């Protein structure tokens, strides 16, 4: 096989996210956790750009990306200000620049999550509503893993320390119409990049959670 045939944009993108996520895990556990945690916004931004590179960016797709970003930001701003969407919580400093107390990277993350979980959901069913529900469930599953470790990484902190059912219900309510819009828009993403990014986010938070439960970083 020609080695240059392996240097496709899909393979390069997948290789880069594995490099950055594994480096982040190793760096947080065995090196200077502060430096690697502060690099989280850059990691998210690179993951987002690589997702765009592997996505067919038609007008509808670009509009959907903006819709996910704006909806996510507005929902989070309402959540932080009033507490009735996700519960009472505040964002730390690790996710970077904030608008009305919500990091811009959170809006980017909403776009990423809708696109990668929506893409994965397509492989489980041909039914629109089953795909929508599967996409929402994939998002909630990832959030379940993220929540216990997020305060330790200075991402966000809930009043009382733990996210309640309120948070997951709010996530589902916000994610549901966005998942529906994703599947109605017939977004086309090339290759298995979304599978890898979802798996890496799951591994990132799970490994750090296990590490926190056995030792103190």
Pairing status of strand 89-91 against strand 156-158: antiparallel
Instruction: For the chain, give the longest Cα–Cα distance.
Output: 58
CB within 8 A of 87, min separation 6: which ones? 79, 158, 159, 163, 164, 166, 167, 170
Q: Whose CA is closest to 147, among 166, 126, 129, 132? A: 166
Of all helices (H) and strands (E), which one includes residue 156?
Answer: strand 156-158
Provide the pLDDT for residue 156: 92
Q: Rounded CA gap, 38 and 123, in Å?
A: 35
**Residue ranges of the chain with pLDDT lower than 50?**
1, 217
Coarse DSSP helix, strand, coil percentages of the chain, rounded to the nearest 5 percent? 70, 5, 25
CB atoms closer than 10 angstroms to residue 39:
17
DSSP string of 20-55, one letter each residue: HHHHHHHHHHHS-HHHHHHTHHHHHHHHHHHHHHTB
Q: Rounded CA gap, 25 and 164, in Å?
A: 27
The CA-atom distances, in angstroms, between 106 and each of 41, 72, 112 are: 9, 7, 10
Q: Are residues 101 and 81 in contact, defined by beta-carbon separation less than 8 angstroms?
A: yes
Q: Is the pTM of this model over 0.85?
A: yes
Phi and psi, residue 89, nearest 5°: -155, 165
Provide the pLDDT for residue 6: 64
Q: Are residues 22 and 138 in contact, defined by beta-carbon separation less than 8 angstroms?
A: no
């Amino acid at each position: 096989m020609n080695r240059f045939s392996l240097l496709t944009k899909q393979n390069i993108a997948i290789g880069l996210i594995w490099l950055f996520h594994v480096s982040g895990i190793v760096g947080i556990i065995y090196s200077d956790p502060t430096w690697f945690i502060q690099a989280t916004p850059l990691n998210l931004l690179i993951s987002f750009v690589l997702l765009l590179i592997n996505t067919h960016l038609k007008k509808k797709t670009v509009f959907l990306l903006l819709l996910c970003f704006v909806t996510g930001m507005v929902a989070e701003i309402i959540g932080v200000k009033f507490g009735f969407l996700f519960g009472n919580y505040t964002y730390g400093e690790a996710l970077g620049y904030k608008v009305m107390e919500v990091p811009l990277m959170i809006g980017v993350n909403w776009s990423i999550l809708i696109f990668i979980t929506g893409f994965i959901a397509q492989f489980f069913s041909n039914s629109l509503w089953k795909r929508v529900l599967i996409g929402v469930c994939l998002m909630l599953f990832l959030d379940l893993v993220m929540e216990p470790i997020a305060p330790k990484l200075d991402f966000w902190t809930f009043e009382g320390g733990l996210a309640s059912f309120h948070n997951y219900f709010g996530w589902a309510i916000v994610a549901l119409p966005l998942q529906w819009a994703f599947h109605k828009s017939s977004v086309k993403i090339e290759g298995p990049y979304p599978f890898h990014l979802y798996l890496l986010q799951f591994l990132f938070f799970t490994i750090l959670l296990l590490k926190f439960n056995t030792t103190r970083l």
